Amino acid sequence: MRETRSPVARIAFYTAVILGAAIMLFPFLWTVITSITPDGSLSKGPTLFVEDPTLDAYRTLFDTLPMWRIVLNSLGIAIVSTALQLVTGSMAAYAFGRLHFPGKNVVFGVYLATLMVPLQVLVVPLFIEMRALQLQDTYFALLAPGIASAFGVFLLRQAVSAVPTELDEAAVLDGAGHLRIFATIVLPQIRPALATVAVFAFMYSWNNFLWPLVVIRSPELMTLPLGLSTLQGQFTTQWDVVMAGSVVSIVPIALVYLLAQRHIIAGIAHTGIK
């Protein structure tokens, strides 16, 4: 029996949803408004109404920093890291979800246990390893920690386990091996989960600050979070320029999420994660 709400309940529900959306959107709106507010007007305090909007902050941002190189660095690292995580994560998920080998559950449990280890604990060993291999201050050093993701493997393994095994059995009768089953049956069935992992991986790489700060020294390898951190001075800070840089960093993430929103919702629902 379908539950019907009274008009008062519907009004209260939609009011709460609109209020929650407004609260969530306010920081982004204030960031955009601050970025087009003249620097002198910021001394009067935060405002949502700009008398003389200007794009001078964006001009100063691109004049102060090599923004195009920085954005391309971040974009390239995020795309390559996301692609590598999809490849390694999907293959590992197929192994954990479809193959049978001794100690599989133990290995998977140990793999998941790495989720409890924060990046701050791993920074020093990773840096020592990069230095021993003479790979620090390189693009590969930026990519290395993002080649695989325990969370991505977990999410994709849930999706692989939800694919009916009868499809595999029918493919085996036709002479298909694991590689063909993986490429032609499993991957098309877990596309929503792949899109979800891709968005999470892209966001993590795009916003990553600590590891690039530790491993990068050359300005030409600087990523966007590092570039934005240089805009804050020791005594004074041009907040309109900082907010302009924040807008530049937010736009790609917002576009990626909007384009993949339907797949993210389907992926979360398909894997059964609450």
- Residues 105, 229, single domain; the answer is yes
- Residues 103, 49, single domain; the answer is no
- Residues 30, 63, single domain; the answer is no
Q: Pick the closest to residue 124 from 36, 35, 190, 214 (CA basis).
A: 214
- Residues 22, 119, single domain; the answer is no
- Residues 28, 97, single domain; the answer is no
Q: For residue 172, give the amino acid letter.
A: V
Q: Which residues pair with 237 in a beta bridge?
A: 232
Alpha carbon distance 137, 230 (integer Å): 18
- Residues 217, 99, single domain; the answer is yes
- Residues 18, 125, single domain; the answer is no
- Residues 32, 69, single domain; the answer is no
Contact indicator for 35, 243 with CB cutoff of 8 Å: yes
Domains of the chain: total: 2
| Domain encompassing residue 29 | 1-54
Alpha carbon distance 187, 167 (integer Å): 12
pLDDT at 264: 65
Query: How many residues does this entry show for the chain?
Result: 274
- Residues 227, 150, single domain; the answer is yes
CATH of the domain at 136: 1.10.3720.10
Residue 241: how many other CB atoms lie within 10 Å: 23
Domain boundary among 9, 25, 54: 54
- Residues 178, 214, single domain; the answer is yes
Q: Pick the closest to residue 94 from 198, 197, 186 (CA basis).
A: 186
Domain boundary among 54, 79, 99: 54
pLDDT at 34: 83
pLDDT at 274: 45
Q: Which residues contact residue 24 at a Cβ distance below 8 angstroms, ignoring those fewer than 6 apart? A: none
pLDDT string in tens for the chain (274-residue length) = 455 667 888 888 889 989 998 888 888 888 888 888 876 555 555 566 777 788 888 888 888 888 889 999 999 999 999 999 999 999 999 999 888 888 888 988 888 888 888 888 888 898 998 999 888 889 999 998 888 888 889 989 988 988 888 888 888 888 888 888 888 888 888 888 898 888 889 989 998 998 999 998 888 899 999 888 888 764 467 778 888 888 888 888 888 777 777 766 665 655 545 4
- Residues 94, 214, single domain; the answer is yes
- Residues 95, 147, single domain; the answer is yes
